[in-house]
Amino acid sequence: MHHVVIPEINSAAIWRDKARAFLGAGTPPDHILWGETTIAPDLFATPAHSPQGGPVSVPRSFISLAEKVVWHSDPERFARLYSFLWRLRDAPHLMSDRGDADLARLRQMEKNVRRCQHKMKAFVRFREIRFERANRRSFAAWFEPTHNTVEPTADFFARRFADMDWRILTPKTSAIFEGGTLTFTQGQPKPDLPEDASEALWITYFRNIFNPARLKPRAMQSEMPKKYWKNMPEADAIPELIATAPARAREMARAAPTLPPRHMAGAQAQLASCASAWDGPSSALSSAITACTRCPLHRNATQTVLGEGPVDADLMIVGEQPGDMEDLHGTPFIGPAGQLFDRLAQAAALDRRAAYVTNAVKHFKFKPQGRRRIHQRPNSSEINHCKWWLEAELAQVRPKLILALGATAAQALTGNGAALMSRRGTVEKTPTGQPVLITLHPSYILRQTDPKASAAAETLLVQDLKAAMAMLA
Amino acid sequence: MSVKSLEQKLAILSDAAKYDASCASSGSTKRDSRGGKSLGSNEGSGICHSYAPDGRCISLLKILMTNFCIYDCSYCINRVSSNVARARFSVHEVVKLTIEFYRRNYIEGLFLSSGVIRSPDDTMSEMVQIARKLREEEHFRGYIHLKTIPDAAPELIEQAGLLADRLSINVELPTDAAVAQYAPEKKPEQIRRAMADVRLRKDAGKDKSFTGKRPARFAPAGQSTQMIIGADGSNDAAVLGQSTRLYSSYKLKRVYYSAFSPIPDSSSKLPLIRPPLEREHRLYQADWLLRFYKFELDEITSVTQDGNLDLEVDPKLAWALANRALFPLDVNRASREMLLRVPGFGVKTVSRILSTRRHRALRYEDLTRMGASMKKAKAFITAGGWSPGALTDSIDLRSRFTPPPQQLSLL
């Protein structure tokens, strides 16, 4: 029988070395008695010699599990770890068996340690202590963790509070950080830390951030168990806050509404004089379109996407509706389809900036899907509602030729919603007699999965763009 | 007017800030102060440093820069027509409070919001100044969340995003009509434009330049928003519809639902009721189902006739009770998508089931060890040694999960 004593400080590394040596030597779990320094040695045990053995290989996931479990307060933790490690020798897949009872127990202990570490990060409360002639500020805290979590958690505080000296004193292990070096010492009795003025401010904050109308003390206690309260300055206020909350909430409900204060009119007058940097230059038409609520699409879209380009342009290009990017930027034809159009326009020697570019429908219609928006085709009613604005734009720009991209634009301009492919390349007329050249929408090209089909569609669109240039020339 | 002490100002300005639900401090860039030249760290996961008796976590110093405001939003304690005590912090005071609280391990950082004074631009630039001072003079590396004023100039939003971890803009109410009614000075389309602007800047921050250099990260912990529940008449389908649109349009990290709560000196326009806390809870559950369990919006909201969530049972259980034909599922064969739909199984439980069943068949006892809540799950699954028999289709299945009926009082 081997008797192994693992000290409180540096337990993880020491246990790991011992366990590796025993495993290499093939020592079964029932031949080892694991102990802490606080437990009296077993009468029949022989003091441990370090057995020498061959190399061992252990799943990585076990090592990270063990590095947590060694800090648990259960006196059986070392024995439990070693006996599971022993089982792992022949069955390494056990680590991924979430139903195994031994592993479930170890995972539970790991979870306890993690939670205890997390609560320590949250609930340690420093008070400032002053030393003569010190060039760094100094802080100290008294804390009573459930498990021995000071050592594995101290690094967190060292990373966070590197520009000050601090010490966390506990009954078991204490951490001291001075001048950038972290050391651990034995536990201590509770020290008498000096009063700290910031603590009163913190309690004021705690009392006032509480909303008495939504009292939920059970939710508070499940996350902040009472065992931590004695070392948290704000916790003293909790019983009184709970006791007075119902009366405070009733009082708020009972109080009659008051009359507005006298300074209200003056304060609101300031508002009228504020100019917003978001409001660009606007014409009567553009502000009327922006304010449009004729169909429900305006509720979901970010903004109205107005037409863009010279108002005396010869060519007017009409697309279907803004897409995701157009909706976010507020500019037409800048998304993937817009970029493709620009490339093809270049091939056809068409200068887009010289044309007036707009859409048949001015708001983006979409269906949310997770973190993406899926484009939805506008229906006839939406197209008809928005036709009002398209006609107003036509009346303002009075182009020599209108280029309708896709079926929606063709329908809005000519009133004819028939299939597009048989009509493309032909010139139709608006009800007022303006010529409309019908062609494909660039997004049709983007939708093609077959490269041949998409190349063919590109050729057709370029051909129509060239035709438009020829008509204008 | 007498000069208020720092403590009095803190009391007023934290009281005024408590109606903002968000207190998250997670998901930002990893950083620390190991060099000894700076203060603070951020390690990905958030830390709740305390809990108030309202069950809400206290992770950040959540305060208003000032509660003077020129807007008149009916639901808000700080509206211009209210007679609450007013105060205003100086830039230096906010910086000092943040640093001193942080050094004592009270907080993860600062959540700064403000009433609108003088003009949106003036207010926003003062908030940016506080963030700048914390970052550049105090070398503060903790978490900063700035509540953006939607009307503030885009340049100010850009500076705010480069200094803060998170930006948020509140949509306030679920529909544009409700905003027009209760917050007459706020413009819903302007709020959406500001959120779109934050998203575009954040997207642009991800693109590497021609030389492979990354631009400065913009709001690394993303943007969030808050909606008040129960002040207007919108049903849950409208609320969740709005949040799915917000998630998809502006890639929000979170939409917070805040049950409308009585405030001191309330407006006569809004009736004071007990805050609908249970409804708020169900909305969060539904929000999670939509984002992490691949539920569709109408699957969740079509369970009841009026488009509101069932308050007695959680939305997943309500859906399962209405779709019993799909159950029981065999945990040893069902797909991940379907296992996620079993009431009582979470994302972690499901991944444990999947990894363990590669080696062996699962039994009922295994599931309890994997963290499943079998009280709910057992009616909807079969496993080794367990079959629900007639339980799945029994008439009184629902009543096993609902609170027992209560005798009405005669008095």
**Between chains, do B272 and A253 touch, taking CB under 8 Å as contact?**
yes
Segment A46-88, tens digit of pLDDT: 555 666 666 788 899 999 999 999 999 999 999 999 999 999 9
d(CA B288, CA B242): 15
Task: Please check the confidence at residue A40 and state whether its pLDDT lies above 80.
Answer: no
Q: What is A306-346 written as a DSSP string?
A: --BS-TT-SEEEEES---HHHHHHT-SS-SHHHHHHHHHHH
Task: Please check the confidence at residue B271 and state whether its pLDDT lies above 60.
Answer: yes
Amino acid identity of residue B374, one-letter, is M
Which residues on B lie below 8 Å from A370 (Cβ)? 247-248, 291
* Residues B317-332, mean pLDDT to the nearest whole number: 95
DSSP label at residue B403: P
CB contact residues (below 8 A), chain A span 184-213, against chain B: 196, 198-202, 204-213
**Between chains, do A122 and B47 touch, taking CB under 8 Å as contact?**
yes
Picking from A115, A202, A203 by the largest number of B CB atoms within 10 A of its own CB, the best residue to mutate is A202
Enumerate the domain spans of chain A. Answer: 2-120, 124-186, 197-247, 284-472
Nearest CA to A375 out of A320, A428, A412 is that of A320
Picking from B61, B103, B292 by the largest number of A CB atoms within 10 A of its own CB, the best residue to mutate is B103
Say how many C-beta atoms besides its own lie within 10 A of residue A266's C-beta.
11
Chain centroid to CA A262: 44
Which residues on B lie below 8 Å from A160 (Cβ)? 32-33, 39-41
Which residues on B lie below 8 Å from A93 (Cβ)? 359
Q: Is A276 on the interface with B (CB under 8 A)?
A: yes
Which among B15, B34, B152 is the nearest to A159, CB-wise?
B34
Compare A41 and B288 and report the one with higher pLDDT.
B288
Nearest CA in chain B to A290: B189
Q: What are phi and psi of B203, to 5 degrees?
A: -60, -40
Chain centroid to CA A307: 35
User: Which residues lie below 8 Å from residue A127, measured CB to CB, with a gap of 6+?
Assistant: A139, A140, A141, A193, A194, A195, A196, A199, B104
Specify the 3-state DSSP secondary structure of B14: helix
Which residues on B lie below 8 Å from A217 (Cβ)? 53, 55
Q: What is the CA radius of gyration of chain B?
A: 24
- What's the confidence (pLDDT) of residue B7? 96
**Between chains, do A299 and B291 touch, taking CB under 8 Å as contact?**
no
Spell out the long-range contacts of B356-362 with Cβ–Cβ below 8 A and sequence spacing 24 or more.
B356/A96, B356/A97, B356/A98, B356/A99, B357/B331, B357/B332, B358/A96, B359/A93, B359/A96, B359/A97, B360/A97, B360/A99, B361/B332, B362/A99, B362/B331, B362/B332
Nearest-neighbour CA in chain B from A173: distance (Å): 20
Give yes or no for a contact between A116 and A145, defined as CB atoms under 8 angstroms apart: yes
Specify the 3-state DSSP secondary structure of B66: strand
Picking from B61, B96, B118, B248 by the largest number of A CB atoms within 10 A of its own CB, the best residue to mutate is B248
d(CA A1, CA A30): 8
Nearest-neighbour CA in chain A from B338: distance (Å): 18
User: Which residues lie below 8 Å from residue A270, measured CB to CB, with a gap of 6+?
Assistant: B70, B118, B119
Nearest CA in chain A to B122: A274
With cut-offs at 50, 70 and 90, classify the pLDDT of residue B9.
very high
**Between chains, do B39 and A98 touch, taking CB under 8 Å as contact?**
no
**Between chains, do A201 and B17 touch, taking CB under 8 Å as contact?**
no
Which among B120, B267, B359 is the nearest to A257, CB-wise?
B267
What's the full length of chain A, in residues?
Answer: 473
**Between chains, do B48 and A122 touch, taking CB under 8 Å as contact?**
yes
Q: What is the CA radius of gyration of chain A?
A: 37
Segment A263-289, tens digit of pLDDT: 888 888 887 777 777 776 678 888 888
**Between chains, do A101 and B369 touch, taking CB under 8 Å as contact?**
yes
Compare B95 and B264 and report the one with higher pLDDT.
B95
Task: Please check the confidence at residue B184 and state whether its pLDDT lies above 80.
Answer: yes
Chain centroid to CA B95: 25
Nearest CA in chain A to B269: A257
Which among A141, A219, A300 is the nearest to B245, CB-wise?
A300
Enter the ipTM: 0.94
Which among A242, A300, A329 is the nearest to B200, CB-wise?
A329
* Residues A145-169, mean pLDDT to the nearest whole number: 95
Compare A163 and B406 and report the one with higher pLDDT.
A163
Burial tier of B208 (Cβ tally within 10 Å: 0-12, 13-18, 19+): exposed
The percentage of chain B sitting over the pLDDT mark of 70, rounded to a whole number, equals 99
- What's the confidence (pLDDT) of residue B130? 97
Nearest CA to A66 out of A145, A6, A1, A155 is that of A6
Which residues on A lie below 8 Å from B108 (Cβ)? none
| Cα-Cα end-to-end distance for chain A | 102
**Between chains, do A210 and B38 touch, taking CB under 8 Å as contact?**
no
d(CA A465, CA A349): 9
Token pair 């240039």 is at which residue? A469
Specify the 3-state DSSP secondary structure of B306: coil
Amino acid identity of residue A347, one-letter, is A
Q: pTM of the prediction?
A: 0.92
With cut-offs at 50, 70 and 90, classify the pLDDT of residue B36.
confident
**Between chains, do A124 and B39 touch, taking CB under 8 Å as contact?**
no
* Residues A447-458, mean pLDDT to the nearest whole number: 94
Query: Which H helix or E strand runs over B132?
Result: helix B120-132
Q: What is A122-151 written as a DSSP string?
A: HH---EEE--TT-SS-EEEEE---SSS-HH
The superfamily CATH assigns to domain B6-275 is: Aldolase class I (3.20.20.70)
Enumerate the domain spans of chain B. Answer: 6-275, 323-400
**Between chains, do B43 and A122 touch, taking CB under 8 Å as contact?**
no
* Residues B219-232, mean pLDDT to the nearest whole number: 93
**Between chains, do A264 and B80 touch, taking CB under 8 Å as contact?**
yes
Compare A133 and B74 and report the one with higher pLDDT.
B74
A284-472 is classed CATH 3.30.565.10 = no
- What's the confidence (pLDDT) of residue B405? 80
d(CA A471, CA A400): 9
Chain centroid to CA B338: 27
d(CA B398, CA B411): 30
* Residues B213-219, mean pLDDT to the nearest whole number: 85
Arithmetic mean of pLDDT over chain B: 92
* Residues B144-159, mean pLDDT to the nearest whole number: 94
Cβ pairs A/B, distance under 8 A = 279
- What's the confidence (pLDDT) of residue A326? 96
